[in-house]
């Protein structure tokens, strides 16, 4: 079986599991699948986009995003889903349609500054550190309300919702408490700050947890290895 056939079969399985999970979710909204493409060759992403219709893709690292940008820009809608350093903001504004990992006022201020200089408004998600893990970025859950209030000072940023990465859990069912709590924050924030956004975004759930995220209200799941297979960190992505 070719790798393209494997990608096709994997995506069929992902969609089947999402459809099953949607039977018991707290909202009637659909779910978008974002392809997490870290270490994935551009030709695999293009196949999923052009042949299978999956046109959302996310990169964790700015350097890899830039290395693939020319190959992918006409095929997919690119998101940055990993940590963004302020000194790299100028490299992504205008290239990605959504920055999913805003986790400080300092970063927001720089995105606003670069966006204003380029005559654009950048769409962003606020990253919530729902497990309060020291090793991860993100706003503490209890600070989410105040952080969204602070973002209102930046006219060249448009917050669309929330992103989170749950702590690694041994049992899939254990993810649900983190996703349920994030969903509660999302609903509160949506009512207070995102009321003018037609479809606010709740990005949560990855290859090991997307079914649980769907059950708890995710509107976007970020899936990499469940589609493309285990990541090959030894070999650079082909161009």
- Three-state secondary structure string covering the chain: CCHHHHHHHHHHHHHHHHHHHHHHCCCCCCCEEEEECCCCCHHHHHHHHHCCCCCEEEECCHHHHHHHHHHHCCCCEEEECCCCCHHHHHHHECCECEEEEECCHHHHHHHHHHHHHCCCCEEEEEEECCCCCCCCCCECHHHHHHHHHHHCCCCCEEEEEEEECCCCCCCHHHHHHHHHHHHHHHHHHHHHHCCCCCCCEEECCCCCCHHHHHHCCCCEEEECHHHHCCCCCCCCCCC
Question: What confidence score (pLDDT) does residue 120 get?
Answer: 98
CB 73 within 8 A of CB 46: no
Mean confidence (pLDDT) of the chain = 95
> Structural domain tally of the chain?
1
Question: What confidence score (pLDDT) does residue 238 get?
Answer: 43
In a domain? residue 170: yes
Average pLDDT of the residues in 53-74: 97
CATH number of residue 75's parent domain: 3.20.20.10
In a domain? residue 239: no
Please report which confidence band the pLDDT of residue 235 belongs to, taking 50, 70 and 90 as the band edges: low
In a domain? residue 237: no
In a domain? residue 223: yes
In a domain? residue 236: no
Per residue in 149-203, pLDDT (tens digit) is 999 999 999 999 999 999 999 999 999 999 999 999 999 999 999 999 999 999 9
Q: Which domain covers residue 97, as residue numbers? A: 3-228
Question: What confidence score (pLDDT) does residue 239 get?
Answer: 42
In a domain? residue 155: yes
In a domain? residue 72: yes
**pTM score of the predicted model:** 0.95
């Amino acid at each position: 079986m070719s790798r393209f056939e494997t990608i096709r079969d994997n995506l069929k399985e992902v969609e089947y599991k999402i459809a099953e999970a949607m039977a018991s979710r707290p909202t009637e909204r659909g779910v978008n699948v974002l392809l997490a493409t870290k270490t994935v060759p551009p030709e695999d992403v293009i196949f999923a986009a052009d042949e299978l219709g999956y046109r959302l893709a996310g990169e964790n690292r700015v350097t890899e995003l830039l290395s693939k940008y020319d190959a992918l820009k006409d095929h997919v809608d690119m998101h940055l889903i990993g940590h963004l350093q302020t000194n790299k903001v100028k490299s992504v504004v205008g290239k990605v349609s959504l920055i999913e990992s805003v986790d400080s006022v300092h970063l927001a201020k720089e995105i606003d500054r670069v966006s204003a200089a380029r005559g654009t408004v950048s769409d962003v998600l606020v990253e919530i550190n729902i497990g309060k893990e020291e090793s991860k970025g993100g706003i503490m859950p209890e600070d989410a309300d105040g952080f969204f209030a602070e973002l209102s000072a930046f006219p060249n940023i448009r917050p669309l919702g929330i992103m989170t990465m749950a702590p690694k859990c041994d049992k899939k069912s254990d993810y649900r408490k983190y996703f349920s709590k994030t969903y509660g924050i999302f609903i509160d924030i949506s009512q207070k700050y995102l009321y003018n956004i037609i479809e606010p975004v709740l990005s949560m759930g990855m290859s090991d947890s997307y079914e649980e995220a769907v059950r708890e209200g995710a509107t976007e799941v970020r899936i990499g290895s469940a589609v493309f297979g285990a990541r090959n960190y030894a070999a650079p992505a082909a161009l």
